[in-house]
Amino acid sequence: MTSEERKRVSKFLSGLLRHYPDRFGVEVDRSGFANLNDVLRVLEERYGVGEEHLRAIVALDGKRRFEICDGKIRARYGHSIDVDVRWSEGNAPRKLYHATAPENIGSIMRYGLLPMRRREVHMTETPEEALEVGLRHSKTPVLLEIDAENMIRDGLEIRKKGRVFTADSVPPRYIRVV
Ligand code: HQG
């Protein structure tokens, strides 16, 4: 399997587990987990991808998007469907980053970072990773530095999911344009 093919399947899998499991008759539980066999049935049919390939896709994913556990699989982050996102794999560093399109800045500095169509706001540990995400929204993304240290001190929760950090929202006072 080439890296291009892996990427195609990974994108589909993200959509399936984050946004439209119903469309493919896949059931997702409260924690976001689906039966591995249900997902394999869909992947076999669409892409001829079997369990070994799926495990390779999950293992080689640089952002650690998926988690396989006890015959089940879930997306770690990015959901729009109603799952319980309140779990974490570790602590946040003092600063986090997010990048967005210039036209969003006014609204973000007024209302804060909001999850918009997803369950959570997504942030990264490095400016570089954030800018890569920002490039999906604009050719000239604006980098925001998030004061994670003070968010946590003030009782706001930040969760670690793979290489991504998430929050319910980020009020403007913790956001700085850099
Ligand atoms: C913006 C990818 C106006 C926000 C990435 C962003 C990430 C506001 C957009 C993950 C706003 C939402 C998520 C406000 C937020 N006013 N605009 N108040 N608050 N926004 O795609 O973080 O590759 O839902 O800045 O790497 O870009 O798929 O969020 O531009 O980790 O695994 O609203 O998806 O991961 O866009 O991306 P998104 P995101 P994968």
Q: Name 114's Cβ contacts closer than 8 Å, sequence gap at least 6.
A: 121, 169
Residue at token pair 């209302």? 111
Q: List pocket residues of ligand 1, CB cut-off 6 Å.
A: 14, 63, 65, 78, 100-101, 104, 107-108, 111, 113-114, 116-118, 122, 133, 137, 164
Domain with CATH 1.10.10.970 in the chain: 3-75
161 forms bridges with which residues in the sheet? Answer: 164
pLDDT band at 2 (very low <50, low <70, confident <90, very high): confident
- ipTM of the complex as predicted: 0.98
- Amino acid found at 42: V
CATH fold group of domain 3-75: Arc Repressor Mutant, subunit A (1.10.10)
Please name the residue whose Cα sits nearest to atom 14 of ligand 1.
Answer: 108
Domain with CATH 3.20.170.30 in the chain: 95-177
Q: pLDDT tens digit string along 54-108?
A: 999 999 999 999 999 999 999 999 999 999 999 999 999 999 999 999 999 999 9
Task: Decide if pLDDT at 151 tops 90.
Answer: yes
Rounded distance from Cα 113 to ligand 1 centre (Å): 9
Tell me how far apart the alpha carbons of residues 131 and 44 are, in angstroms, rounded to a whole number: 34
Residue 177, pLDDT score: 98
Level-2 CATH architecture, domain 95-177? Alpha-Beta Barrel (3.20)
Classify 122 as helix, strand or coil: strand
